[in-house]
A = this chain, B = another copy of it.
Amino acid sequence: MKEWTKHDLLDIQELSKEEIELVLKTSKSFKEVSTREVKKVPTLRGKTVVLLFFEPSTRTRISFELAAKRLSADTISISSSGSSASKGESFLDTAKNIEAMNVDLIVMRHSASGAPKIVAEALAPSVINAGDGCRAHPTQALLDLFTIKERLGRIAGLKVGIVGDILHSRVARSNIWALTKLGAKVTLCGPATLMPRDIERLGVDLCYDLNEVIAASDVLMVLRLQKERMQEKFLPSIREYARMFGINRNRLKAAKKDLIILHPGPTNRGVELSADVADGDHSVILEQVNNGVAVRMAILYLLLGTKEK
């Protein structure tokens, strides 16, 4: 297996199949650390990891913060509110100032697609994209892959349905790349107004009949519906959306017995998922959260722990 050579993680596309498999393998060994009595290894002692979130986030920020702390790194958390952003400084200027403090890695989320890439190109520290606009969220895709593989033993050949607001979803985009690269067959399903043009070019199928997608899938990846989409006239109403594209127990009668359902969280219970499905046997939502820490430990380790800078 090739050794890790990447300096940043901006996109799932830039990883080869071998690199993705190295991440998954490394994640497996770090997953064990979080189950120990003493959940801490000295791997990144004396390294500085900055969490630079220009969009609010609980789970992703905490997941990275815990991952860094369990590797013994020092963490600094910066959110846009209360920061220089409110004084009108550009995100690149903010990032350059952080770099000047000799930090080793910046985990960055930003509403503008491409912002982490701009920072990575300009700066010496490693950059992890923790979500940029509607573009990419590579660690989410990696933890989804890990969860699927842990449950079903493989990725190649699986039928994966991605359901919901594909148009605005960075989770969908990163997963489409990752899943197709590892040989899964991806079908997208959602309102036509929320389907990107020419998305078939990425090697996926479209299907507007949710029941058909459910019946055929080994994995359902259900996306969060942003309530703002109503105001933007993409959808007539939440109720209408839930009726057409919400996953509920009744619909799952036609599903394969060992279907697993993923959701990047936070869930809108009663909208894209009924509460009993979110908490039901098919759901692996909390496993995704659990695996997220392990995958992020692996990424931090691969970016920082294996090389002299």
In the assembled complex, A46 has its CB within 8 A of some CB on chain B:
yes
How many angstroms between the C-alpha atoms of A93 and B290 in the bound complex? 14
- The residues of B that contact A268 with a CB separation of less than 8 Å are 88
- The residues of B that contact A62 with a CB separation of less than 8 Å are 50, 76, 78, 98, 101
**Contact call A82/B66, Cβ cutoff below 8 A:** no
How many angstroms between the C-alpha atoms of A40 and B88 in the bound complex? 33
How many angstroms between the C-alpha atoms of A75 and B100 in the bound complex? 21
Q: Return the chain B residue nearest A226 by Cβ.
A: B87
A94-122 interface mask toward B, CB cutoff 8 Å, 1 = contact, 0 = none? Answer: 10111111110000000000000000000
A248-297 residues at the B interface, CB under 8 angstroms: 265-269, 286-287, 289-290, 292-293
**Contact call B100/A289, Cβ cutoff below 8 A:** yes
How many angstroms between the C-alpha atoms of A40 and B75 in the bound complex? 13
In the assembled complex, A3 has its CB within 8 A of some CB on chain B:
no
What distance in Å separates the Cβ of A122 from its nearest Cβ neighbour in chain B?
10
A57-88 residues at the B interface, CB under 8 angstroms: 57-59, 62-63, 65-66, 69-70, 74, 76, 78-79, 81-88
**Contact call A48/B76, Cβ cutoff below 8 A:** no
Tell whether A290 pairs with B102 under 8 Å between CB atoms, given A83-B58, A266-B84: yes
Segment among A9-17, A20-28, A29-37, A174-182 that sits at the interface with chain B: A29-37
What distance in Å separates the Cβ of A242 from its nearest Cβ neighbour in chain B?
14
Could you list which residues of chain A lie within 8 angstroms of chain B, going by C-beta atoms?
Answer: 34-40, 45-48, 50, 56-59, 62-63, 65-66, 69-70, 74, 76, 78-79, 81-90, 93-94, 96-103, 227, 265-269, 286-287, 289-290, 292-293, 308-309
